[in-house]
Structure 1
Amino acid sequence: MNKTPIISLLFCLLLASCSKPADLFSSYEEAQTALISLNTALSAQKNSHATGLSNEQLPFTDAYLARRHDIYQQLMQMKLTVAQTNQVNYLVIAERFPERYFVWPAHTDVLSNMLSIVKNDAQYKNIEQWLIFVQTQLKAAEQSNLKLNKIEHNYLKHYVQQAINSTDTPIELNESLSVLNNYLAQYKPRGSIGLSGLANGSQWYQSKLNYFANDVLSPLEWLSRIDSKFKSMQSQKQHTMVEASNASQLTKLLLTDSKIMGLDWSTGYTLLPQRANATQLEPADAQLYMAMMETDLGVHYHAWTLSQARLNLLKRLNISEEDARILVEDIIFYPGQSFSFAPQLLN
């Protein structure tokens, strides 16, 4: 009996088993849990029992990106709902864009999240290396004509200075924080506040519009629909209650249910288009999100300035200067998300 084929077969099976990912998910929920764990530093969850951070959990490092990509690829092989499939496709497309250069997203205090979890010297070393990585990536981004806008820049400076001034910050991080602080002090942000100011930013923005609006229309086509809708609405301004808050107004409205359904940390792990579609808007809220969508296009497509964006919201809504400022920051930090209401308001 010739044993060679059997031995070869067993050897091939061994190689195949060794080449498999460390864990294969049997369900959407398992993959979702893995993403929530991976993004611990980006979006700390209530009742989290995390006691440390692995190398994979340091945002946008090679280990993090590889792990995230593996989870996405496994999700693409699963049988999912239409809403889940749309979100996975959106997240996979987003991997092509320059997010990896901006490893500290300005709308979340990553360092504070990390320090709430890490409690030993060895892990402080990981945070120190990540702070160095933040600066390294920002420098690399500059070589590719990718820069923070001035709002993002100001938020990062605030986070770093806050950590330096805090007596709770471990002394092991003092040097890396000081170096990053000095770098940010001389950093020159880009002029545009919207995605159009980034290389490939227009394509990135289009992908967001396509996903959140669940339709494929150009920014100009969306603007035409918004203009027509405004003309059909009552000419007088409607009183719109917008609470001044540092949280995203859109997220605050939609995330009243603590149940986690989605995969994207930046939307609170919610399938935002699906949630928006299930939300009945009052006339004042409809006016609000119409103005948000219009301003979103102005900022990220037409390259409006901060003043132009604020003035447009003040013109459309009965809100204060402070509320307008907060809404503009939401639009800058969460491009396209207001278009989750487009199917309800513009079709």
Structure 2
Amino acid sequence: MHRLLKKYIIIAPIAFAVVYAAIHPTKVLSSAQELYNKWMVLTMILDKVERFYVDERDPDELLRNAIDGMLSGLDPHSVYISEEQYKAFSKAYEGYFGVGIKYNIIGNQFVVTNVMENGPAAIAGVRVGDRLIKLEGVPISELRAQQIEQILIGSEDKAVTLQVARPNIDELVTFELPKRKIEHKSVPVALMLDEQTGYIKISNFTESTPAEFDAEYAQLKQHGMKRLVLDLRNNGGGAFDAGVAIADRFLSGGKMIVFTKGRALRSSQQYIATSSRTVPRDPLIVLVNEATASDAEIVAGAIQDWDRGLIVGRRTFGKALVQTEFPFQDGSILLLT
């Protein structure tokens, strides 16, 4: 067996057992032995596949498949991301080569939830609500999330063949989408609708969203804004803390924005509004639709719960799951609900 792989597999249960012993000394013997036995079964299976399977297989790929199989029994949002994929994921917020779409898994369907303005997909006619059926001729249901991202985001030299299902159209709609540089800005639009009404669109939440919002809000105030339309349509979420920070802008100090509850002690927390950055209590309308999800729902929900503004639009996506990021020494991470 690949030496590094075998070393990792054998050391992992031992390290876990040591930690477990420190936390639960009374249960350590039976539980640690049971865990070790299960890990050894996995080790032996990997060893047998590597040594005796009819075709030679990459040990790292075998381990990756084992990880993916473990996570596939959880929710769709709990995923393992390799070092390379994580670097690409991070660069996506700085600007990247791609086709300019985002999607969410609704039931078993891969539904387009955001089409970036002036991106290749928008220019070609891809619409929010289209269901992704095939990428490069391969049914999307046969691809892992990381494979989908690698196809949609990457080298500018390769175009992407995308086939979608669209309501009221019997045949699949096919697009040939070139990749080009997508400049990312989480607050892409801020303008005055009339002499007193400002409009701000937040497309998703990143670490820079609160600062972007503050800058655009201040500009609109200088132009005489006395009421605001906040557009969260097609906003699938992003950085949890950024969503909380935006909600904090609209609530007075002491009001609860959101609380999280999980099995681990640290995952159960309350997030309370401060009074340090609260914007004036001007009339507020928040626009939402079926693709408003996650952190965007936190903002809309807090505003609605505290009667701070009027929510207008369709029923939102309903993603009430928060992922915690667990980084590893090799640069990969685990996103776990």
TM-score, length-scaled by structure 1: 0.28
Higher relative contact order, structure no. (Cα contacts within 8 Å, ≥ 6 residues apart): 1
* Higher Cα Rg, which structure: 2
Report the structure, 1 or 2, having the larger strand content. 2
Which has more helix, going by share of residues?
1
